[in-house]
A and B are shown apart, each in its own frame.
Chain A
Amino acid sequence: MTVLSIEDLRLELPGASRPVLAGVDLEVRQGQTVALVGESGSGKSLTSRSVLRLLPPGARAGGAVRVAGEDVLAMPPARLRELRSRQVSMVFQDPRAAINPMLRVGAFLTESLRANLGESKAGARARAVEMLEAVGLTDRVLRQHPHQLSGGMLQRVMIAAALLAGPALLLADEPTTALDVSTQAEIVALLADLRERFGTGLLFVTHDLGLAAAIADHVYVMYAGRIVEHGTAETVFAAPRHPYTSALLEATPSLAQPDRRLHAIPGRPPDLRAELTGCAFAPRCTRATDECHTTVPVGQVACHHPGGTHA
């Protein structure tokens, strides 16, 4: 069953001369982990935020974002609040910034259950304790303030809060970027474990290819507001066909080949103020021809000159 299906999502921001998202298609099935990778500014965070219609002021969205068949972009506000409180939840990048610093963790965890889902005080507390235990914390943190917890513990609290209502889809926007490396590994293992236990679909947004390879079933690679390549994690990472994906992998250090030279991608991603005519990656691409500068490539591998074949 498909829990999330994004169809031709377009997003325009005031002050940008081209769409920030230019037709994104993406699908997450029940219990599936999908990684959305790309560099800063490629539009991966905006894509995941648009699933909850959490758009910047003045943004104009087109296309459709369907959660269980319903278009989020066209929902009335009351239905949107219901969707947010029950069906889809989100884990943010920096837990310290994303949790109200003034309130105890207990208040943060139980407020939505009581206010939006009509739980009793005792019921909400019991549910909070249950989820805290699922993420490896004890009920002790209920009485603590966010500043008394470490970043890793706070991200666990954030994940517990996101799973409280038993959502069908969890959006994780760079959930480990603000954490140190060993905590990162714990959080990723926890997310994988919870997804299995609760059958939640997971959309994992990251710029870290190694992390994406470790957690995802399916990978979407994004560049300048478009999906340039997608496929199962094995095929995309073992046999990348889009030159951008290959270049990204060549720029990533690998423990298997510690002596390999890393290749930086020349140039920089296109500025939002510049209009694009052809393939956004063409100016930085070694395979680019005249065609690439004039015609936008489409397809599962959005490239006029894809490398070797997908299995």
Chain B
Amino acid sequence: MRLYRTCLVFAGALVLIALAAPLLAPHDPNGVDLGAAVSGPSAVHPFGADGSGRDTLSRLLIGSRTALLGPIGVVVFSTVAGAAVGVAAGWRGGWLDTVLSRGSELLLAFPALLVAMLFVALYGPGLLTPVVALSLAYLPYVSRLARGLTVSEKRRPYLDSYRVQGFSGLAICVRHLVPNIAPTVLAQSTVNFGYALLDLAALSYLGLGLPPLTPDWGAMINDGQDAMMQGHFLPAVIPCVAIVLTVVAFNVVGGAWADRISRRAA
């Protein structure tokens, strides 16, 4: 419970920091201070500066925006599309279920990162390309969950009491079934947020995500490697710590929500 609260506060604080990042950052994230290149903590650069003399703290703060925005995009796309696919498959059953379920299993066969690399290779870097690619890769996880929930939910008697009032199947599905399975799907999506953040950071570490010069946590780890060779760990380690803490916070919060929902349903 205390862990959950701490994580919730951390996640909330992170969102606020990301919103206010340009005001909070002490330096221009791309401003080059060659005199401070590869330096440890100082009054001017609290977390030191990387090999090009860019302030680690400022890049960390500004980087939190893409770090949150990317996974949010993935979660929104994959949840909306995955829920639509899963509910349609579960509600209609039959051949539609076969086509949609086998189709999304086919997507599962490809590792998320490989799909994303393929997309970046085809469509060039940018925030949108890897987000769309990862959304596709995450879609099957959401659709499988939504399909299972729909299949078990559609047998519940309260849906019959709408049928006997003369509602069409589509109206019952959209207005009553979907809101009732939504909390569970959303809790799963919160957990997906953490994984998407990791995948996006990995892509950006490999230089495959955002355009060069965009401050981003994954790219910062790569940039920080020079400083690390020269004995200054902070420029590389700080973004690592930020990624780990953020992923843990979102997973704990998502997991706690999922637990709470399954307890309520039981």
Contact = CB atoms under 8 A, between A and B. Distances in A.
Contacts of B106: none
Nearest to A86: B166
B171 A100 contact: no
Contacts of A17: none
A92 B166 contact: no
Contacts of B42: none
A274 B166 CA distance: 36
Interface string B163-175: 1111110010000
A100 B175 CA distance: 11
B266 to A, nearest CB: 13
Contacts of A158: 161
Contacts of A83: 166
Given A85-B165, A85-B166, A112-B165, A92 B179 contact: no
Nearest to B161: A98
A92 B163 CA distance: 12
B160 A92 contact: yes
B171 A92 contact: no
A116 B165 contact: yes
A267 B167 CA distance: 43
Interface string B139-174: 000000000000000001110111111111001000
Contacts, number: 60
Contacts of A77: 168
A82 interface: yes
A16 to B, nearest CB: 19
Given A100-B180, A102-B179, A102-B180, A115 B167 contact: yes
Interface string B114-157: 00000000000000000000000000000000000000000011
A84 B157 contact: no
A99 interface: yes
A122 interface: no
B176 A98 contact: no
A93 B158 CA distance: 11
B166 A112 contact: yes
A90 B164 CA distance: 7
Interface residues of B, number: 16
Interface residues of A, number: 27
Contacts of A81: 166-168
A212 interface: no
A54 B165 CA distance: 12
Interface string A73-96: 000010001111110111011100
B157 A92 contact: yes
A161 interface: yes
Contact of A99 (B158, B166, B167): B158
A100 B164 contact: no
Nearest to B168: A81
A115 B166 CA distance: 10
A52 B179 contact: no
B160 A84 contact: no
Contacts of B163: 52, 54, 84
A101 B166 contact: no
A92 B159 CA distance: 12
Contacts of B166: 81-86, 112, 116
A54 B168 CA distance: 13
Contacts of A93: 157
Given A92-B157, A98-B157, A158-B161, A112 B167 contact: yes
Among all A-B residue pairs, the 10 with the closest Cβ atoms: A85-B166, A84-B166, A112-B165, A81-B166, A90-B164, A97-B157, A98-B157, A98-B161, A116-B166, A100-B158
20 contacts: A52-B163, A54-B160, A54-B164, A77-B168, A81-B166, A83-B166, A85-B165, A89-B164, A89-B165, A92-B160, A97-B156, A97-B158, A98-B157, A98-B160, A101-B158, A112-B162, A112-B165, A115-B167, A158-B161, A161-B161
Given A54-B164, A85-B166, A100-B161, 17 more contacts: A52-B164, A81-B166, A84-B164, A84-B165, A89-B165, A90-B164, A92-B160, A97-B157, A97-B158, A98-B160, A100-B162, A100-B180, A111-B165, A112-B165, A112-B166, A116-B165, A161-B161
